[in-house]
C-alpha cells in the first residue's frame, strides 16, 4: 500500500521535516502515538533562592514590620479608674475600730485608684489605698494594727532605713530602696494603734505633701 492510499489526509499536506512532534496536531499523529509531554516553563531567577534575592526579601519584610510597629499605638501603662477611697476607709474604720487616716485637701490632681481591706504578709489585716500623684507616680498607703517585722519589710519593698524625717510635726522613719523608691513609716504603739507605711514611686516632695495631709476619717454609721 502506498502512503497516499494509507493516509489520504497526510498526502494532501506538505511535509516539513523541521516540524517537531510536539507541534504536530493530534489529528496528524499516527494511531497509538502518545502526546508528547509539554516542556516545563523556565524557572524564575527570583525563585531560585539566591542570596541577594533572600536578602531583598528579608529587608522588605523588616520594613513592613517596622512600619506596622510605628503605626500601632503603644500603651506604656494602664490607668486605673478613680474609686471612692473615703467611703471604703469609713466603712473599714467602723468595722475594725481603727483610726484610719487618709490625705485631705490635696486637690483633684491626686487620684485614689485602689482601696482594699485584706490580709497581707503574716496574715496581718491591712487597709491599703493607692494614689496617683500629679507627676504620674503612685503612692501606696498601708495601715495595720499588730504589724510584724516581716509585714514592715514587705511594705517598704525591702528598703533600708535611712534616718528620720519630720513632716508637719510628725516624725517618720525613712526607708529607701536601691532603685530610689522611698517609704515613710510611723510605728503604732498600743492596742489597735496603727502602723502607717507610705511607699512612693512618685517624687519625695509629693510623698512629703501626701503624709502632711493625712487626717483620721470618720467611721460610717453602717
Q: Write the pLDDT tens digit of every residue in 191-208.
A: 889 999 999 999 999 999
pLDDT at 101: 98
Residue 93 inside a domain? The answer is yes
Residue 205 inside a domain? The answer is yes
Residues 115 and 180 in one domain: yes
Residue 34 inside a domain? The answer is yes
* Exposed e or buried b per residue across 41-72, where buried means at least 16 C-beta atoms within 10 angstroms of its C-beta: eeeeeeeeeeeeeeeeeeeeeeeeeeeeeeee
Residues 191 and 96 in one domain: yes
Residues 99 and 190 in one domain: yes
pLDDT at 221: 85
Residues 93 and 149 in one domain: yes
Domain span including residue 27: 19-71
Residue 222 inside a domain? The answer is no
Q: Provide, rounded to the nearest whole percent, the portion of the chain with pLDDT above 70.
A: 70
Residue 177 inside a domain? The answer is yes
Residues 152 and 104 in one domain: yes
Q: How many domains is the chain partitioned into structurally?
A: 2
Residues 66 and 91 in one domain: no
CA dihedral 23, 29, 33, 38 (to 10 degrees): 20
> 200 pairs with which residues across the strands?
139, 182
pLDDT at 30: 54
Amino acid at each position: 500500500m502506498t502512503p497516499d492510499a494509507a493516509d489520504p489526509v497526510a498526502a494532501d499536506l506538505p511535509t516539513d521535516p523541521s516540524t517537531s512532534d510536539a507541534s504536530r496536531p493530534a489529528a496528524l499523529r499516527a494511531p497509538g502515538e502518545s502526546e508528547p509531554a509539554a516542556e516545563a516553563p523556565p524557572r524564575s531567577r527570583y525563585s531560585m533562592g539566591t542570596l541577594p534575592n533572600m536578602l531583598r526579601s528579608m529587608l522588605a519584610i523588616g520594613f513592613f514590620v517596622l512600619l506596622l510597629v510605628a503605626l500601632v499605638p503603644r500603651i506604656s501603662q494602664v490607668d486605673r479608674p478613680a474609686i471612692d477611697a473615703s467611703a471604703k476607709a469609713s466603712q473599714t474604720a467602723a468595722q475594725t475600730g481603727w483610726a484610719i487616716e487618709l490625705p485631705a485637701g490635696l486637690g483633684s490632681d491626686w487620684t485614689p485608684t485602689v482601696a482594699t481591706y485584706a490580709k497581707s504578709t503574716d496574715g496581718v489585716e491591712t487597709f491599703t489605698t493607692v494614689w496617683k500623684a500629679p507627676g504620674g507616680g503612685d503612692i501606696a498607703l498601708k495601715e495595720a494594727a499588730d504589724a510584724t517585722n516581716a509585714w514592715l519589710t514587705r511594705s517598704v519593698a525591702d528598703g533600708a532605713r535611712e534616718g528620720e524625717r519630720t513632716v508637719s510635726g510628725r516624725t517618720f522613719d525613712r526607708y529607701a530602696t536601691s532603685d530610689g523608691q522611698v517609704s515613710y513609716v510611723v510605728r503604732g504603739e498600743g492596742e489597735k494603734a496603727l502602723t502607717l507605711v507610705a511607699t512612693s514611686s512618685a517624687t519625695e516632695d509629693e510623698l512629703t505633701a501626701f503624709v502632711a495631709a493625712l487626717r483620721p476619717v470618720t467611721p460610717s454609721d453602717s
